[in-house]
Amino acid sequence: MRKRKCTACGAVKALGEFYIHRRSPGGHHAACKVCHRADVNARRRRRLAEDEADFRARQRAACRRYAKTAKGRAAGAAAARRYRRTAKARARRAARTRLPADAEARRRILEYCEAVRTAKKIHCAFCGRRIPKPDRRVAHLVPVSRGGAHTRENLVVACARCTVSRAPRPVRLPAGMEDGI
C-alpha cells in the first residue's frame, strides 16, 4: 500500500487518507484528510469572524440550496428532532404556556380553560367546526413565536387538527365567536 507523509501533522498515512487533488504532482493533497478538513474549517471560521459580508451571503445561499435537496431536508428534520429534545427547547416550550405571575391574569386564563373544557357546545375559532370534548385545545390567536402574548385576550379555542395545521398568523373569528366560545 502506498503511503505518504502529511506535511501538516507529519504522520505517515495510507494514500487513501489524503484527498485527491489532480493539480498537485502526486495527485493528492499534501496534508492528510484530517489536517485538510481542520484547515478548511479554520479558514471558514476566520472568514466568518472577519465578517466578510459577501462571504456570509454566499454561505447562506449555499445553505439554502442544500436545505432544498432531499439530503438537506432529511438533515434539517433530524436536527429539529434533536433540538426538540434539548433543555433549551423544553424551556422555550414551557415559557410559551407558563401561567403569568399576575394573579388576576392567571385566574382569567384558568377560568377560560375550564370554560372550554366544560362547555356543552363549542366551535373551533379557526375552522368553525364543533369540537368534541377530547379534541378541545386552547391556542394562541397570534402565536407567541410571532409576538403574541400569553394572556386571556390572545387565547382562543381550537380543534386538535387546527392547532397542529394552522398557519401561524392572526385569524379573524367568525361573527358571534369573538370570545372563542
The residues binding Zn ion (CB under 5 A) are 6, 8-9, 32, 35, 124, 126-127, 159, 162
Minimum gap (Å) between residue 28 Cβ and Zn ion:
12
Pick between residue 127 and residue 149 the one whose CB is nearest to Zn ion. Answer: 127
The SS3 of residue 5 is strand
Residue 138 or 159 having the CB closest to Zn ion: 159
Separation of alpha carbons 89 and 134, rounded Å: 27
Min. distance of Cβ 109 from Zn ion in angstroms?
A: 21
Identify which of residues 15 and 63 has a Cβ nearer to Zn ion in the complex.
Answer: 15
For 85-136, give the DSSP string: TSHHHHHHHHHHHPPPSSHHHHHHHHHHHHHHHH-SS-B-TTT--B--GGGE
